[in-house]
Structure 1
Amino acid sequence: MRSTLLLLESLALTATAFPWAAKLANSDMSALESPSLLKRADICPVNRPRKGAAPYSEYYPSKYTGARNGQPGTGKGGVQVPAPGDTAHAYEAPASTDIRGPCPGLNMAANHHFISHDGQTTYNEMVDFAQNVFNWRYDLAAFVATFGIVQDGNVLTGELSIGCNGGQQVPNTGLNTHNKFEADSSISRTDYYLSPNGDNYSVNETLFNYWNDFCDGDFTLECMGPYMRSRYDQSLHTNGNFFNGPLFLFALGTAALPSQSFASYGNEGSPSVSTIAPFWAATRTSTGRYTVAPGTERLPSDWYNRPTSLSFPEIVGQVYDLYQAAGSPAFGGNTGKPDSFVGLEFPQGGIEGGLLKNSTPQGVACLFYQLVTNFIPLSLDNQVLQLSKVSQIFAKSKLTSVFANFGCPAL
C-alpha cells in the first residue's frame, strides 16, 4: 500500500513551467524520484532485512538519557558521546553497501551505529538517537522522526531509508526524494536542477567553504539567517526551476543545528568550524580550505551533548527568528528561467501571495502541523502531495500532544 497519494488536477498547467510535471500528468511516478535514483538505480544498495542499531548500555553515562524503544528519556545531558568505553557506538566508515543521504545528523548516527549502519532506520531508532546523542526533548525527537517517515518512509512499518530507496516497499521514498525532505537552497547541497551529475544529497565542497567564509568559521544563529537568505538568492538567480516551498522552514530548523545541537555542549558551547566540520564530513587542508568526503560524517572527538534538552517550541521560535533574520523570503518559485519568481498560493497552510499570513511562532508551528498531517505543495500550480488516511493516522498518533498548545485549526 502506498503511504502517499498525488493530487494531479492542475498538472496540465504545471507542465509548461516545470518539465518534470508532464511525466506526472501521464502518471509517471518516477518524476518524483531524485536524479541520483534515476541514474544510479542499479547501484542503490538493497538492504533488506535491515541490521538495526547497536544497543545502549544500561549504565550511566553510556546509557545517555536512557531513551529506549521510542519513549521519553530523562532529558539530562552534558555527557560525553560516545561515552568512554562505549565501543558499540565508535565510528565506522560506511561500506559500499551502506546508504547515506542528505541529512548530516542521520549520516553521523548511522556511522556511529546509533541507527542501523546500513542506512535503513525506524521511528524508534531515530527518537532514541535524537534524545540520547543530542539531548533533544521527546516532543522534538518525535516530530522530526514522524516528519521523515510520513514524507519519505513507510508508515506501515515505521521505517525510513536515509538516502536512496534501498529496497523499501513504498516506491519513490528515501530522504533523497526531491522537495519532500531534500529541497532547493539548502545549507550545503546542490539544487536538484543545478547538479551536473544528479547528486543533490552529498555535501558540496564549494558550498561548505562558502558557508565557512560567510560566517567566518562561527555558525551562530546570528549568521545563519543572513546565510540562508544568501542561498535563497543564489537559487533564485541561477535556477530556472527553483522552488521554495514551506519546507524552507524545515531547512531553517536545520540551520539552527550547528549552534543548538552540533556544538559541543550544544547551546552552551561554540559552533566553530573545527567542531562543526566533522558533522559535514569536512577536513581542513594546509591551505585553510576544506575538502569533503560525503558519507563519512562523524562526531568530533571529546564531544559532549547539551546539558538541557532542546524542545519543539524552542526550535519553532528559532525557526521564526531565522525566517525574520533572512528577510521573510517569499514562498514560490521560478517558472522555467532564473528570476521569473511567482508567489505560492497555499491557503491551507496560511500562505497567500507567497507570504506567511500569520508570521508568528504559532503560524510557523501550524504550518509544520499542516505539512506533517495533511499535505504539502510541490509546485506553484497547486500540485500537492496528499497524505493517505493511514499516514494521517500515523502522524496524529505521534504528534497530537506535541501541537496541543499551539491552537492550530483541526484538520
Structure 2
Amino acid sequence: MEGMKVPVRLLRPPGSASPLHDARTATVVGRLLGPALAVCLVTGVVSHYLKHPPGPLLDVLPTRPVWGYRLSQGLHVASGTAAVPLLLAKLWVVYPRLFTWPPVRSLLHALERLSVALLVASAVFEVFSGLLNTAQWYPWPFSFVPVHFAVAWLLAGAVLLHLAVKAPVVAAHWRRHRAGAAPADPDARDRRSFLAGLGAAAAAVTVTTVGQSLTPLAPLDLLAPRHPGHGEQQLPVNRTAEAAGTAALDAGSWHLTVSGPRPCRLSLDQLRAMPQHEVELPIACVEGWSKSARWTGVRVADLLDRVAAPPGSRVRVTSLQTHGPYRVSELPPTHARDPLTLLALTLNGQPLSPDHGFPARIIAPNRPGVLQTKWVGLLEVS
C-alpha cells in the first residue's frame, strides 16, 4: 500500500549472534585496516613505477637514498601482511549484513550492495594475491603484476565510494562517547578484548615476517618465505642459473659486448684488469626480502666512457638467460652514470656464483631486484 515501509530484518546465520557485529566495532577495525591499505597502495605504486617507468619518468628516476626501494618495498609487504588479520576481522564483523531481508530494497540500495561486493572482492584479491606473491606461488592463469596493479586502483576507488556512502555511520561511531553523554556501552569490555587480540595478531604476523627486510629483526623471521642471510654467498636466490638456462656458462668463452660509437668486446680477464670498485648496496626484491652486500666490479660509467657514449645515454642491459619477463632491463642516465652502479664481478669478496649471475651482473642503487640483471651479455648504449 502507498506509504507502507517494507520491514528490514537481519537473518542471523549460525555463529553470528555476537554483539560485536555492530557499527562501532566495524568502524574501529576500519580505522586500523584503512592505514594499512593506504600504505600498501602508495608503496605499491612506487614499486610499480620503479619497475615499469613510463618513458619520461625513466630519465629522472632517483638513485638516492640507496636504500629507498628497500624501505618502500619492505613497508609494502609488511603493511600487506598486517592487513590479512585486519581484513579477516573486518569481514567477520560485517558479514551478517549480507543476510538482511529483503536483500534489495531500492535501486540505490542495490547499487550500495554492488559497491560493497566490489570492495570485498577487490580487497580479498589484493591482500591474498600479494601474500602468495611473496612465496612466488601463482595458481592463476593471468600475469600477476598488471592485474594486481589494476585491481589496486579498483580497490582504492571502492574504498573511497564506501566511505562516502557510510560517512554518517563512520562519523557517529568514530570516537567513544564521552562519559555522561550516552548510556554505558555494555559491549565495551568484549570489544576491547577483541581489538586487543586483533592488534596482537596483526603485530605477530608482521614481526615474524618483516625480518626478511628489516635485518635487526631477522632472528624473528619465522613466517616469511625468505631469510635475508640464507642462500649462496649469504644472499637469497629467487631465480637459479639452472632455471634461467645459464648454468653451463663458461668463463673462458664468455664475452661482454658493449655497443656505442666505439663498440668493444671484453673478456672476463679484461674486465678484471680494469679499475675495480667496491660498493655496499642492498638488493631488494618485490617479494619483500632485502639484504645489503659488498659488490666489486667495473663502473658502468667507465664502460660508457670506453665506448665514447654521449652524456645522457640510456643503457639497455640484456641477460644471457633464455627466457623471463626481466631478461632485458634499462639503465636510465641517472643510474648509468652513478658511481655506485657496477657491472659486478664479485659478491662479498668472492666471485659471483652461477645463481648470483656469474660471470657478471648489474648492481645499482635504489633499484628493484628484478632489474639488477644477472648473467649480463650485452650493454647497448642508446
Q: Answer yes or no: same fold by TM over 0.5.
A: no
In proportion to residue count, which structure has more helix?
2
TM-score by length of 1: 0.22
In proportion to residue count, which structure has more strand?
2
TM-score by length of 2: 0.23
